[in-house]
Amino acid sequence: MSMQKRGYFFTLDVLIALIVMVVGFMLIWSSMATKPQIIQPYFLAQDLIDFMSSTTVADVTSISYVTGLVDNGNISVSQLETTILEQIAFFNYINQTSGGMKDAVLRNFTKVILENATPGQYSFEFILDERTMYYQQNPFNDIQDESDSLASAKTIISVVVDKNTISEPIVAEVRVWQ
Amino acid sequence: MAVKAASGLGKKAIFFTLSSVLIVSLFLLYYSTREDLSIKEKAEVGESRVAAVNNFVENVENIYLPRAVYTSTNKAISVMTEYMVANGVYTNMSVNFPQVLMNGTLCNLAIDPSCTANVTLDDMSDYRLGLWLAKLTNVSREEMNIKAEFNISRITINQSDPWSLNVTALIDYNISSPGVVTIIGRNVLISTAVGIEGFTDPLIAIETGGMVRRMINRSIIDLETEKGSAVVAKLVAEKTYIYQNRTGPSFLMRFEKNLNASKCCGIESLITEDILDTDGDNIPNPEFEQGYRSYADFQFWMDDPAILCMRDEINYDNDLYNVTPAVSTELFPFKLDRIHMDTIYGVPRTSQNDIKVDCSLS
């Protein structure tokens, strides 16, 4: 084989090898890039639980609906220092023991607190004691059951209803998906 | 020609060998990366499980248990008082209170001093601390895959403040997320303060056979600055309680009819007409007619009026005094002992309102 032919052979060899390597690396990177990002939804879900567990009702009295609830006695002055999650659990207890009389208050309070609480590309659902209290769909209409990146954060909540009574422990759950 | 052909094949073989090595390397790289990701994912899941268990433990110690102890204590005190009034018995709080709080049962020490048989208090059945803990255990296991075991080894109730009870539960727990993390707590103290205002005074309720149920209601009178018969009259009218640690028993001591002084937490109210005349016929109940009793509530029901005399032998004379005119009715002349007149309420004594106690009667 002449030197010219050998050069042609090795050049071709390098080219083929390069193509194989580039295609290979692209495959690897593409598989990583399309991997569902489950961590971000989990942090969002946990953040929402933490937010509701640490923010007091007094902190959200700038919302006119909440102020209205304080004014009309649905939220007592002593409850201003309870957390949002406790207040929701309290409304839930009152609602259950009153045969559903406080359902609107429960849902509206939850709505004004949680509305737009996550970035727009995420959908989320707040579930209390196995009942959906609030549901927000992202613009892409991603379906929860078909999502590859569904994350959930839970906590147990129980509130002092009166000095003799503590509500049964129930689960508050936030699900976030994309 | 044959050598030439062999040489060409050899060069092609190198090409194929290199290509295959490269492809195998890529596959190895691909799968090793995936394995790394999988381990990372597992670590993240484990991390979130550990965080969930940590949060749960933190909530158990700081929120769930103190709240459950608080509400169960409130209910237990009310239910115990009702039982005591209905049966006309006193209790031993250190023995009976933990039973009622945890199990809703109580041994009647009046008829069962060795505390071998328990009475079930039905009104407590839904409020037992043990029941609530069982519910928490169920929910945590079923909904959060957190296995929790609690063992309350001791419950104590005491007072260091006249207007509140301090309830402490000594608890062991074992809380785990199976296969991820286990947190064990030993001798963890859960304390909660329970205000006594609003509870029925067991001493007055039992001694009046349940006819008078006086709620503990704190007076706004400050005995450091306010003195005199007007203060006494106000306390009688309001039926409120004052802090009085010279001779008064604490709220807890009233459950045991221990009428000694409590230095930290003594309280007292004053005897009023509704106690002296429980049927409202304007005739004092016969058992209250005889006179040598101070109208400070605990002194009124001392089993032996001679206690007044005994005390008087040490520091005070044995007289009682009418508190007039601020508190007076013909049927129920209001009487106080000398320590209440002088030191606690600062009511002037005169020879006219002096009632000699005949200690020979005791």
For chain A, the residues whose C-beta falls within 8 A of a C-beta of chain B are: 1, 9, 13, 16-17, 20-21, 24-25, 27-28, 31-32, 35, 38-39, 42, 46, 154-156, 158-160, 163-166, 168-171
Comparing A1 with A55, the larger pLDDT belongs to A55
Comparing A143 with B45, the larger pLDDT belongs to A143
Helix (H) or strand (E) holding B68: helix B65-87
Picking from B161, B170, B164, B160, the residue whose alpha carbon sits closest to that of residue B190 is B170
Task: Please tell me whether residues B125 and B206 are part of one structural domain.
Answer: no
Task: Please tell me the predicted confidence (pLDDT) of residue B11.
Answer: 64
Domain with B309 in it: 202-361
Q: What is the mean pLDDT of residues B10-25?
A: 74
Task: Please tell me whether residues A6 and A71 are part of one structural domain.
Answer: no
Task: Please tell me the predicted confidence (pLDDT) of residue B243.
Answer: 94
Say if the Cβ atoms of A28 and B68 lie within 8 Å.
Answer: no
Task: Please tell me whether residues A131 and A80 are part of one structural domain.
Answer: yes
Task: Please tell me whether residues B168 and B211 are part of one structural domain.
Answer: no
Comparing B271 with B11, the larger pLDDT belongs to B271
Task: Please tell me the predicted confidence (pLDDT) of residue B91.
Answer: 92
Residue B5 pLDDT exceeds 70: no
Task: Please tell me whether residues A43 and A16 are part of one structural domain.
Answer: no
Task: Please tell me whether residues B181 and B267 are part of one structural domain.
Answer: no
Residue A125 pLDDT exceeds 60: yes
Domain with A31 in it: 1-35
Q: Closest residue of B to A164, CA-based?
A: B71
Q: What is the mean pLDDT of residues B145-154?
A: 95
Tell me how crowded residue B168 is: count the other CB atoms within 10 A of its CB: 15
Q: What is the mean pLDDT of residues B201-208?
A: 95
Q: How confident is the model at residue B1 (pLDDT cuts 50, 70, 90)?
A: very low
Task: Please tell me whether residues B217 and B328 are part of one structural domain.
Answer: yes
Comparing A168 with B27, the larger pLDDT belongs to A168
Residue A178 pLDDT exceeds 50: yes
Picking from A51, A62, A135, A52, the residue whose alpha carbon sits closest to that of residue A90 is A52
Comparing A94 with B18, the larger pLDDT belongs to A94
Task: Please tell me whether residues B164 and B212 are part of one structural domain.
Answer: no
Q: Which residues of B touch A16 (CB under 8 A)?
A: 15, 19
Residue A126 pLDDT exceeds 70: yes
Residue with tokens 């003195």: B227
Dump the DSSP string for B84-127. HHHHT----HHHHHHHHHHHSEE--TTT-TT--S-EE-GGGGGG
Task: Please tell me whether residues A14 and A91 are part of one structural domain.
Answer: no
* Domain total in chain A: 2
Domain boundary among B177, B195, B213: B195
Which pTM was predicted?
Answer: 0.82
Residue with tokens 């429960």: A106
Picking from A124, A139, A128, the residue whose alpha carbon sits closest to that of residue A175 is A124
Task: Please tell me whether residues A107 and A126 are part of one structural domain.
Answer: yes
For residue B222, being part of any structural domain is answered with yes
Q: How high is the mean pLDDT of chain B?
A: 85
Task: Please tell me whether residues A83 and A95 are part of one structural domain.
Answer: yes
Task: Please tell me whether residues B66 and B209 are part of one structural domain.
Answer: no
Q: Closest residue of B to A32, CA-based?
A: B34
For residue B132, being part of any structural domain is answered with yes
Task: Please tell me whether residues A66 and A11 are part of one structural domain.
Answer: no
Q: How far is B180 from chain A (nearest CA, A)?
A: 17
- DSSP-derived letter for residue B206 is H
Residue A20 pLDDT exceeds 60: yes
Q: Which residues of B touch A45 (CB under 8 A)?
A: none
Q: What is the mean pLDDT of residues B269-292?
A: 77
Say if the Cβ atoms of B48 and A169 lie within 8 Å.
Answer: no
Please check whether residue B281 is in contact with residue B275, taking contact to mean a CB–CB distance below 8 angstroms.
Answer: no
Q: How far is B223 from chain A (nearest CA, A)?
A: 30
B96-143: per-residue pLDDT in tens? 999 999 999 998 877 787 878 889 999 999 999 999 999 999 999 999
Task: Please tell me whether residues A145 and A66 are part of one structural domain.
Answer: yes
Task: Please tell me whether residues A54 and A2 are part of one structural domain.
Answer: no
Domain boundary among B180, B195, B210: B195
Task: Please tell me whether residues A26 and A54 are part of one structural domain.
Answer: no
For residue B7, being part of any structural domain is answered with no
**Between A35, A42, A166, which is nearest B67 by CB?**
A166
For residue B77, being part of any structural domain is answered with yes
Task: Please tell me the predicted confidence (pLDDT) of residue A36.
Answer: 55
A107-119: per-residue pLDDT in tens? 999 999 998 788 8
* pLDDT > 90: percent of chain B: 51
For residue B13, being part of any structural domain is answered with no
* Domain total in chain B: 2
Task: Please tell me whether residues B59 and B189 are part of one structural domain.
Answer: yes
Task: Please tell me whether residues A29 and A70 are part of one structural domain.
Answer: no
Q: What is the mean pLDDT of residues B171-175?
A: 96
Give the integer Cα–Cα distance in Å for A4 and B185. 80
Say if the Cβ atoms of A169 and B136 lie within 8 Å.
Answer: yes
Q: What is the mean pLDDT of residues B321-338?
A: 74
Q: Closest residue of A to B30, CA-based?
A: A28
Give the integer Cα–Cα distance in Å for B101 and B127. 8
> What are the CA-CA distances from residue B260 to residues B34, B202, B247 (Å)?
76, 16, 7
Q: How high is the mean pLDDT of chain A?
A: 87
For residue B135, being part of any structural domain is answered with yes
Q: How confident is the model at residue B7 (pLDDT cuts 50, 70, 90)?
A: low
Task: Please tell me whether residues B87 and B178 are part of one structural domain.
Answer: yes
Q: How confident is the model at residue B304 (pLDDT cuts 50, 70, 90)?
A: low
Q: What is the mean pLDDT of residues B41-70?
A: 88
Task: Please tell me whether residues B140 and B269 are part of one structural domain.
Answer: no
Q: What is the mean pLDDT of residues B180-185?
A: 92
Task: Please tell me the predicted confidence (pLDDT) of residue B362.
Answer: 46
Residue B345 pLDDT exceeds 60: yes
Task: Please tell me whether residues B275 and B180 are part of one structural domain.
Answer: no
Residue A1 pLDDT exceeds 60: no
Domain boundary among B195, B222, B254: B195
For residue B87, being part of any structural domain is answered with yes
Task: Please tell me whether residues A95 and A149 are part of one structural domain.
Answer: yes
Task: Please tell me the predicted confidence (pLDDT) of residue B70.
Answer: 97
Task: Please tell me the predicted confidence (pLDDT) of residue A87.
Answer: 96
Task: Please tell me the predicted confidence (pLDDT) of residue B310.
Answer: 53
Burial (CB count <10 Å: 0-12, 13-18, 19+), residue B86: exposed
Residue B180: what residue type? V
Q: What is the mean pLDDT of residues B294-303?
A: 83
For residue B93, being part of any structural domain is answered with yes
Least confident of A141-145, B28-32, B53-57: B28-32
Task: Please tell me whether residues B221 and B177 are part of one structural domain.
Answer: no
Structure-block tokens of residue B192: 């909660």
Q: In what order do the strands lie in the sheet with B147-161?
A: B147-161, B164-177, B181-195
**Between B75, B132, B144, which is nearest A156 by CB?**
B144
Say if the Cβ atoms of B67 and A171 lie within 8 Å.
Answer: no
Task: Please tell me whether residues B63 and B187 are part of one structural domain.
Answer: yes
